[in-house]
Amino acid sequence: MTMKIRKIELSRLWPHPDHANRMSRAAFGKLMRHIKRTGYYEPLVVRPHPHKRGSFQILHGHHRCEALRRLGHETAQAVVWNVDDEQADILLATLNRLAGAIVYCMPNPRVEMRRIATAGLFAGLDRQSQLALLNRNVRCIARLAIEPPFRGIGLATRLVRETLGRVEVPLVEAMAVCGAVHPFFERAGMQPFTPRASVEHATLLEALSAVGIDARANGDSPLPIDPQALQQRIDTLPSVEAAFLERAIQGVLKSHGTRRTMPSGLERTRYLLTRLTQRPMYYLWRHPTLEVTWP
């Protein structure tokens, strides 16, 4: 199979009769608007037509082809694969299904590793100025999901690499607990930053230690404590020590959005332990031509 992209006249492109992919009218309209606005679209996958000499049969990209036709284009970018009918059926079953998805979102203003990665670029500002600067210049990869049949073939890396520049902001960040094990963000060109023990992490460990609960497995390592066992220890604390620990916990949770009002109990303890034991890797990508600008 060749992976070279070529331009093919739309008049020479024919849909495959077994094509079963469907798209809603709203989604098709969105596709047309995207192509009209940006000119970008994923190349079609075609094969030499088995019955029409000089023509091609579409295996993947039927809706893109129709959108280009309605927008007045005369050609489409396509990759030609020389496959037989059996291989074509396999490709129709795999290419025309969702293999993965990536979601970008606005940045969280409270990301400690951002200060280190950007050398304090967003530090020392009042909240309104900080939010305005972040929202103008930063986006965050909020979710990356690959369907099980398509894992292990580099799709996550490619999905990140090929979408980073299309967000059109100077900085893109991501955080991943599994970053050290599956470094696809790094392979996609993002710079990794190893997390440090946060202030809230140290505060909570010290508070637990002060009331006689050893929260360290080895040195500064987060503890592998059973949440239920820890909750039982907390429930048996004397009132003075319990009040001290509660103040420390409230201080830690005050920056955790709706979690700050969680009542004491097993669910909250489980959440706190999760925060102690899961410190994600931080990744930052800098656009090669865009600079950070003020609103």
Q: If pLDDT is split at 50, 70 and 90, which confidence band does 91 have?
A: confident
- pLDDT (0 to 100) of residue 52: 94
Q: What is the mean pLDDT of residues 137-144?
A: 94
- pLDDT (0 to 100) of residue 197: 63
Per-residue pLDDT tens over the stretch 252-283: 888 777 888 899 999 998 888 877 666 789 99
Assigned CATH class of 5-95? alpha beta
Q: If pLDDT is split at 50, 70 and 90, which confidence band does 187 have?
A: very high
Dihedral angle of Cα 273, 223, 178, 100, to the nearest 10 degrees: -30
Cα separation of 282 and 184, whole Å? Answer: 13
For the chain, the straight-line distance linking the first and the last C-alpha, in angstroms and rounded, comes to 48
- pLDDT (0 to 100) of residue 227: 85
Most confident option among 47-61, 75-89, 265-279: 47-61
131-135, 143-147, 186-190, 267-271: range with lowest mean pLDDT: 143-147
Q: What length is written for the chain? A: 295
The fraction of the chain above a pLDDT of 70, given in percent, is 89
Question: Is the pLDDT confidence value at 2 over 90?
Answer: no
Cα separation of 191 and 193, whole Å? Answer: 7
- pLDDT (0 to 100) of residue 186: 94
Question: Is the pLDDT confidence value at 64 over 90?
Answer: yes
Could you tell me the pTM of the whole model? 0.55
Question: Is the pLDDT confidence value at 222 over 50?
Answer: no
Sequence-distant (6+) residues with CB within 8 A of 184 are 154, 156, 157, 160
Between these two residues, 149 and 115, which has the higher pLDDT value? Answer: 115
Domain definitions of the chain by residue range: 5-95, 100-194, 199-277
CB neighbour burial string for 251-290, b if at least 16 within 10 angstroms, e if fewer = ebbeeeeeeeebeeeeebbeebbebbeebebbbbbbbeee
25-39, 48-62, 191-205: range with lowest mean pLDDT: 191-205
Q: What is the mean pLDDT of residues 204-213?
A: 85
Dihedral angle of Cα 111, 114, 115, 119, to the nearest 10 degrees: 180
Q: What is the mean pLDDT of residues 183-189?
A: 94
- pLDDT (0 to 100) of residue 17: 86
Q: If pLDDT is split at 50, 70 and 90, which confidence band does 223 have?
A: very low
Question: Is the pLDDT confidence value at 177 over 50?
Answer: yes
Q: If pLDDT is split at 50, 70 and 90, which confidence band does 220 have?
A: very low
| Mean pLDDT for all residues in the chain | 86
- pLDDT (0 to 100) of residue 154: 83
Q: What is the mean pLDDT of residues 226-250?
A: 90
